[in-house]
Amino acid sequence: MRNASTSRRPQLQPMSRNPGVRRPTASDLEIAGLVPLSTVDWPGRLAATVFCQGCPWNCEYCHNPDLIDCSMPGVVEWSDVQALLAKRKGLLDAVVFTGGEATRQPALAAAMAEVRDAGYLVGLHTAGAYPTRLRKLALLTDWVGLDIKALPGDYAQVAGVAAGGARAWAALDILLETGVDLEVRLTVFPDSKPAEHALEIAHEVRRRGATVFALQNARVEGTREEFANRPRDGWAEEWERLCQELSSVGFDELRCR
Ligand code: SF4
């Protein structure tokens, strides 16, 4: 999807209420990729998936590391998304915005509003890096998959940003307040803080009010070499044990995948 010959588009404009400052439109969204049909990005829905460029974090298990660079322009035009939605009327349920970190981009709200106006549901994957933006975005969103990556004190190690923990856990509280349909996800991998604290994290997520939880086994495909080459001795058994252990937490729905 990435094409080095694609011309650079104008820099993102900051959100502003000042008159005279141009508000971002859907066409400003920097899109790194468009998957026309996904059955996995929103459980139970047929969705087109829009990959937004740029993420302020740097998780060791990121399987889209090319999408982290915030200075990289998009390679897919919004008009391609519009054309897909016009063509797939009645065949697709939804559009899922993912990344990178989709909420980084001020144009996301306009893009979501357009998708809604076109008659589709809107899904969002986020790691909660910009929690306060979620209040507004939740009004434009029908379902959110929120990554809780670790206990707050472990974000420096897991996501490369110490402040990320406070942000992500605040995002959880904000999303629960909005009442948007929510799946909280925790990604685990061998010899890691998320795996070590999975039960504690799940209990805290449940205590705060989330009812749907997904335990995700980090995929190796697409990850950087250091991560892909980590030893995985005994991991299959550990993964089974974690799935079993979390079934006692009391979520309405627990997904292990
Ligand atoms: S938050 Fe997501 S996109 Fe960003 S670095 Fe982590 S895994 Fe990759």
Ordered by where they begin, the domains of the chain are: 26-221+235-256 (3.20.20.70)
pLDDT at 21: 82
Distance (Å) from CA 151 to ligand 1 centroid: 16
105: burial class by Cβ within 10 Å (0-12, 13-18, 19+)?
buried
Sequence-distant (≥ 6) Cβ neighbours of residue 129 within 8 angstroms: 55, 56, 57, 101, 103, 104, 164, 167, 168, 171
Nearest-angstrom CA–CA distance, 12 and 198: 37
Determine how β-strand 31-38 pairs with β-strand 47-52. Answer: antiparallel
Map tokens 């205590």 to a residue.
207
Per residue, the 3-state secondary structure of 30-72, as one string, reads CEEEEEEEECCCCCCCCEEEEEECCCCCCCCCCCCHHHCCCCC
Q: What amino acid occupies position 107?
A: A
pLDDT at 238: 98
pLDDT at 5: 35
Distance (Å) from CA 62 to ligand 1 centroid: 5
pLDDT at 157: 97
Cβ of 54 below 6 Å from ligand 1? no
Cβ of 239 below 6 Å from ligand 1? no
pLDDT at 20: 72
Nearest-angstrom CA–CA distance, 53 and 174: 24
Sequence-distant (≥ 6) Cβ neighbours of residue 167 within 8 angstroms: 128, 129, 130, 131
Cβ of 38 below 6 Å from ligand 1? no
| Position in ligand 1 atom list of the atom nearest CA 64 | 8
Mutate to test the pocket of ligand 1, among 60, 61, 68 (most ligand atoms within 8 A of CB): 68
pLDDT block averages, 10 residues each, the chain of length 257: 37 52 95 97 97 98 96 98 97 97 98 98 98 98 98 98 98 98 98 98 98 97 95 96 98 98
